[in-house]
């Protein structure tokens, strides 16, 4: 992102943001939401001074205090809790602006030295990570820039137009060159409607579809025997496993036709090279990890890794070799082994963890809006005996519960290094303007807190620039990393060949060095060594009784104009989204007497929320769609989709199951807005 600045009254003011035309992947285009970054940065709601709570928790009433007062009090409160048991202090963070310096660098040093609980950062990607690790050994895949040469592109559980615009541009190129595009998605998303074919399966059934494809490929002999012999492990066992997944059975599991399974397998062999863009939408059900394993077997089976424009892309983050010792300083734990808290079950943990959570320090995240089973999360955050500090840009749903809100800088105001997960360039974040108000970078806030706590190690004095210079190990694809080069150019390509084909010659990062259809490592852990279909927790087969009461599956994928809950308070973007909406199929609406535009109530045993019905066949029968993640306080009823989602975790990776959720929908009782 290029930022144009002007001097006004001696201060730098950002007046324009634009994509960097020199950057090979993004080629000068910004996605909709980020193109509004100035509106967000200069938003009247920015928190510009430390704030101390004066109202009830959740009310969002605060008084301005000085940094000195806030930090002294926070340090004293944390020290008192740490004297009892430092594990009662829990950090809560996710990606925020996605940078390594403003992410965990200084924060983890601080919490390690303190001996605080560790946080298992599972909210997004760990089911897929473990699925890929089991099969490929690392998170690496097809270069996004190669997709324009593919002849078949499968969008598997991803609405690329909304969430991955730069890959979509490449797919458009491929389409112009005659490629076929297929979307696998329960919902006719912006992306699905622009593909040649849309396979609208039931949520959480992707594993069965992938195994069904493998079944047809093997049955027809549409497999690369040479590649399989040289670069895979466990083909015979895998072939036996997929024997049970004939297209008829798969069709009935997925709620599609056997013809769709057959034609997908046919195309996958005959249209070469074929690339799969596998993403997060299909990981958010119980079987998410196994589904990723099953899909990850397909390129090896059909020999698509041989071509740079074939294969699969979930994430490239494994190529970026973090220098974790230097970044996070785990030695500061000094032999202590604090407990680990899973961020996806923060609702239960705030209410029941033992030892209890006495303090929560939140940064780069908005758990009251984004974590599942929100009622419990909110009750937890409202605990009078919980001490909560939130580092934020805005008074989010979470910040409203804080004892202290500390003003953080945005990416226009601080130094950072971004480790991407969809392309092959390290990105340098140079500050364009001075921090607004009294905002400070996260790193500096933790530095100052460390000093207040009497932590004297040198690593607490390291500057952001010095951290940035040493984030990566000088090995593998980051061997060439040079902060000065990245900083001057804005980005630096990983040390990889131009036509990068990660597994053309095998070279998988598994213990066997092969693509593991069969995983001895999982077998050792007592897990299924072969990928299998794991049915959703909440579905007609796994829980018929529940499905009787709550017959509709709800999914709540990202809205185009929001980034999770970030940007929801930016007016132009919120206006573009309108109001929270529930897309529902005409048959499901008719059965409930629901008309387009009606206010409806979505509910299950965990909770309920209200929105406006959009009667449309974009939602398949049996599935309702609530594009997300709304700030609760910007919705009429003060709630969002996470009222109904559950804290149950995926088969692999301990990740949330946001899209494994049954509900019922009814016309909302007529009452004035809350």
What does the binding site for ligand MGD look like in residue numbers (CB under 6 A)? 33, 94-97, 102, 123-124, 156-159, 162-164, 184-187, 189, 203-204, 206, 279-282, 285, 363-366, 370, 391-394, 396, 408, 442, 555-558, 560, 562-566, 628-629, 641-642, 645, 658-659
Whole-number Å distance between alpha carbons of 255 and 209:
10
Whole-number Å distance between alpha carbons of 207 and 209:
5
Instruction: Give backbone dihedrals phi and psi of 609, rounded to 5 degrees, phi first.
Output: -155, 165
In angstroms, what is the minimal distance from the CB of 102 to Mo ion? 17
* Residue placing its CB nearer to ligand MGD in the complex, 146 or 442: 442
* Residue placing its CB nearer to Mo ion in the complex, 212 or 557: 557
Residue 428 binding partner per list ligand MGD, Mo ion, none, with a CB distance cut-off of 5 to 8 Å that depends on partner kind: none
Number of residues that bind Mo ion (CB under 5 A): 1
Residue nearest ligand MGD (C-beta atom): 281
Could you list the beta-strand ranges (E) of 496-636. Answer: 515-516, 552-555, 581-584, 599-604, 607-615, 623-625
In angstroms, what is the minimal distance from the CB of 85 to ligand MGD? 26
In angstroms, what is the minimal distance from the CB of 36 to Mo ion? 20
Could you list the beta-strand ranges (E) of 462-512. Answer: 491-493
Instruction: Give backbone dihedrals phi and psi of 6, rounded to 5 degrees, phi first.
Output: -125, 150
In angstroms, what is the minimal distance from the CB of 564 to Mo ion? 7
* Residue placing its CB nearer to Mo ion in the complex, 365 or 388: 365
Which of 37, 62, 40, 39 lies closest to 51 in space, CA to CA?
Answer: 62
In angstroms, what is the minimal distance from the CB of 16 to ligand MGD? 21
Q: Is 44 exposed, middle or buried (0-12, 13-18, 19+ CB in 10 A)?
A: exposed
In angstroms, what is the minimal distance from the CB of 322 to ligand MGD? 18
Residue nearest Mo ion (C-beta atom): 124
In angstroms, what is the minimal distance from the CB of 418 to ligand MGD? 11
* Residue placing its CB nearer to Mo ion in the complex, 303 or 422: 422
* Residue placing its CB nearer to Mo ion in the complex, 291 or 665: 291
In angstroms, what is the minimal distance from the CB of 524 to Mo ion? 30
In angstroms, what is the minimal distance from the CB of 420 to ligand MGD? 11
- What residues are paired with 599 via a beta bridge? 612
Residue 558 binding partner per list Mo ion, ligand MGD, none, with a CB distance cut-off of 5 to 8 Å that depends on partner kind: ligand MGD
* Residue placing its CB nearer to ligand MGD in the complex, 136 or 568: 568
CA 11 to the chain's CA centroid? 36
* Residue placing its CB nearer to Mo ion in the complex, 206 or 516: 206
Element holding 361 (H helix, E strand): strand 359-363
Residue 363 binding partner per list ligand MGD, Mo ion, none, with a CB distance cut-off of 5 to 8 Å that depends on partner kind: ligand MGD
- What's the sign of the alpha-carbon dihedral 87, 92, 97, 98? positive
Residue 189 binding partner per list ligand MGD, Mo ion, none, with a CB distance cut-off of 5 to 8 Å that depends on partner kind: ligand MGD
In angstroms, what is the minimal distance from the CB of 410 to ligand MGD? 6
* Residue placing its CB nearer to ligand MGD in the complex, 204 or 347: 204
In angstroms, what is the minimal distance from the CB of 282 to ligand MGD? 4
Residue 396 binding partner per list ligand MGD, Mo ion, none, with a CB distance cut-off of 5 to 8 Å that depends on partner kind: ligand MGD
Residue 557 binding partner per list ligand MGD, Mo ion, none, with a CB distance cut-off of 5 to 8 Å that depends on partner kind: ligand MGD
In angstroms, what is the minimal distance from the CB of 108 to ligand MGD? 15
Q: End-to-end alpha-carbon separation of the chain, Å?
A: 40
Element holding 11 (H helix, E strand): strand 11-18
Residue 26 binding partner per list Mo ion, ligand MGD, none, with a CB distance cut-off of 5 to 8 Å that depends on partner kind: none
In angstroms, what is the minimal distance from the CB of 629 to ligand MGD? 5
* Residue placing its CB nearer to ligand MGD in the complex, 319 or 623: 623
Residue 429 binding partner per list ligand MGD, Mo ion, none, with a CB distance cut-off of 5 to 8 Å that depends on partner kind: none
How far CA 3 is from CA of 61, 166, 307, 428, 499, in Å, comes to 34, 19, 37, 13, 31
Q: Should residue 124 be labelled a site residue for Mo ion when binding is judged by CB under 5 A?
A: yes
Residue 298 binding partner per list ligand MGD, Mo ion, none, with a CB distance cut-off of 5 to 8 Å that depends on partner kind: none
In angstroms, what is the minimal distance from the CB of 226 to ligand MGD? 31
Q: Where are the alpha helices (DSSP H) in 481-531?
A: 483-489, 520-524
* Residue placing its CB nearer to Mo ion in the complex, 124 or 661: 124
Share of the chain residues as helix, strand and coil, in percent rounded to the nearest 5: 35, 20, 45
Non-local (6+) Cβ contacts of 352 within 8 A are none
Whole-number Å distance between alpha carbons of 463 and 447:
9
Whole-number Å distance between alpha carbons of 287 and 300:
21
Pairing of strands 416-418, 197-199: unpaired
Residue 642 binding partner per list Mo ion, ligand MGD, none, with a CB distance cut-off of 5 to 8 Å that depends on partner kind: ligand MGD
* Residue placing its CB nearer to Mo ion in the complex, 345 or 510: 345
Secondary structure (H, E, C), 341-356:
EEHHHHHHHHHHCCCC
User: Contact region for Mo ion (CB under 5 A) — 32-40, 119-127, 250-258, 312-320?
Assistant: 119-127
* Residue placing its CB nearer to ligand MGD in the complex, 281 or 308: 281
> What does the angle CA 436 – CA 438 – CA 440 come to, to the nearest 5 degrees?
85
User: Contact region for Mo ion (CB under 5 A) — 13-21, 120-128, 348-356, 526-534?
Assistant: 120-128
Non-local (6+) Cβ contacts of 134 within 8 A are 289, 293, 510, 516, 519, 521, 522, 652
* Residue placing its CB nearer to ligand MGD in the complex, 137 or 281: 281
User: Contact region for Mo ion (CB under 5 A) — 122-130, 371-379, 432-440, 644-652?
Assistant: 122-130
* Residue placing its CB nearer to ligand MGD in the complex, 506 or 540: 540
User: Contact region for Mo ion (CB under 5 A) — 32-40, 117-125, 459-467, 570-578?
Assistant: 117-125
Which of 1, 18, 40 lies closest to 572 in space, CA to CA?
Answer: 40
The per-residue DSSP string of 241-300 comes to HHTT--HHHHHHHHTS-HHHHHHHHHHHHHSSSEEEEE-GGGGSSTTHHHHHHHHHHHHH
Whole-number Å distance between alpha carbons of 185 and 190:
11
Rg of the chain's alpha carbons, rounded to an integer?
25
| Positions in the binding site for Mo ion (CB under 5 A) | 124
């Amino acid at each position: 992102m290029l930022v144009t600045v002007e001097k006004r009254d001696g201060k730098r003011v950002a007046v324009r943001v634009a994509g960097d035309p020199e950057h090979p992947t993004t080629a000068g285009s910004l996605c909709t939401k980020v193109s509004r970054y100035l509106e967000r940065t200069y938003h009247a709601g920015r928190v510009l001074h430390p704030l101390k709570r004066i109202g009830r928790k959740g009310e969002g009433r605060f008084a301005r205090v000085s940094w000195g007062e806030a930090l002294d009090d926070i340090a004293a409160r944390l020290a008192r809790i740490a004297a009892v048991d430092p594990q009662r202090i829990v950090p809560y963070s996710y990606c925020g602006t996605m940078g390594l310096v403003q992410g965990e660098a200084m924060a983890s040093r601080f919490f390690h030295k303190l001996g605080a609980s560790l946080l298992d950062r599972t909210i997004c990607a760990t089911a897929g990570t473990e699925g890929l690790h089991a099969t490929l050994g690392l998170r690496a895949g097809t270069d996004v820039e190669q997709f324009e040469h593919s002849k078949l592109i499968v969008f598997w559980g991803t609405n690329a137009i909304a969430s991955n615009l730069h890959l979509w541009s490449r797919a458009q190129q491929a389409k112009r060159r005659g490629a076929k595009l297929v979307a696998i998605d329960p919902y006719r998303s912006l992306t699905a409607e622009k593909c040649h074919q849309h396979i609208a399966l039931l949520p959480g059934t992707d594993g069965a579809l992938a195994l069904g494809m493998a079944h047809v490929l093997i049955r027809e002999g549409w497999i690369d025997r040479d590649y399989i012999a040289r670069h895979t492990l466990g083909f015979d066992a895998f072939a036996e496993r997929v024997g049970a997944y004939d297209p008829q059975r798969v069709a009935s599991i997925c709620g599609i036709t056997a013809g769709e399974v057959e034609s997908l397998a046919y195309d996958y062999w005959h249209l070469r090279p074929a690339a799969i863009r596998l993403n997060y939408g299909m990981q958010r059900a119980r079987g998410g990890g196994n589904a990723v394993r099953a899909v990850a077997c397909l390129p090896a089976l059909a020999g698509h890794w041989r071509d740079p424009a074939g294969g699969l892309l979930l994430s490239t983050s494994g190529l970026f070799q973090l220098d974790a010792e230097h970044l996070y300083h785990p030695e500061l734990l000094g032999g202590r082994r604090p407990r680990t808290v899973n961020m996806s079950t923060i609702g239960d943990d705030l209410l029941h963890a033992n030892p209890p959570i006495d303090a929560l320090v939140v940064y780069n995240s908005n758990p009251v809006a984004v974590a599942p089973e929100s009622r419990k999360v909110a009750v937890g955050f409202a605990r009078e005996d919980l001490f909560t500090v939130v580092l934020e840009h805005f008074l989010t749903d979470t910040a409203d519960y804080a004892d202290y809100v500390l003003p953080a800088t945005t990416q226009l105001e601080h130094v950072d290094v971004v480790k991407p997960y969809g392309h092959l360039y390290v990105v340098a974040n140079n500050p364009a303007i001075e921090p607004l108000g009294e905002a400070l970078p996260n790193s500096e806030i933790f530095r100052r807190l460390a000093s207040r706590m009497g932590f004297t190690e040198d690593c607490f004095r390291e500057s952001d620039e010095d951290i940035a210079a040493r984030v990566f190990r000088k090995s593998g694809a980051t061997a060439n990393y040079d902060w000065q080069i990245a900083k001057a150019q804005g980005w630096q390509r990983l040390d990889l060949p131009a036509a990068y084909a990660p597994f053309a010659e095998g070279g998988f990062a598994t213990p066997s060095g092969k693509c593991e259809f069969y995983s001895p490592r999982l077998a050792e852990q007592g897990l299924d060594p072969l990928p299998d279909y794991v049915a959703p927790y909440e579905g007609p087969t796994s829980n018929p009784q529940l499905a009787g009461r709550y017959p509709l599956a709800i999914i709540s994928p990202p809205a185009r104009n929001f980034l999770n809950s970030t940007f929801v308070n930016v007016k132009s973007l919120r206006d573009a989204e309108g109001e929270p909406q529930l897309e529902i199929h005409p048959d499901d609406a008719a059965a409930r007497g629901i008309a387009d535009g009606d206010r409806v109530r979505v509910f299950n045993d965990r909770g309920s929320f209200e929105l406006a019905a959009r009667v449309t066949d974009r939602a398949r029968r049996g599935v309702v769609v609530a594009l997300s993640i709304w700030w609760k306080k910007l919705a009429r009823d003060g709630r969002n989709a996470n009222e109904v989602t559950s804290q149950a975790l995926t088969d692999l990776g301990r990740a949330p199951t946001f899209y494994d959720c049954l509900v019922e929908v009814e016309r909302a009782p007529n009452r004035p807005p809350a």
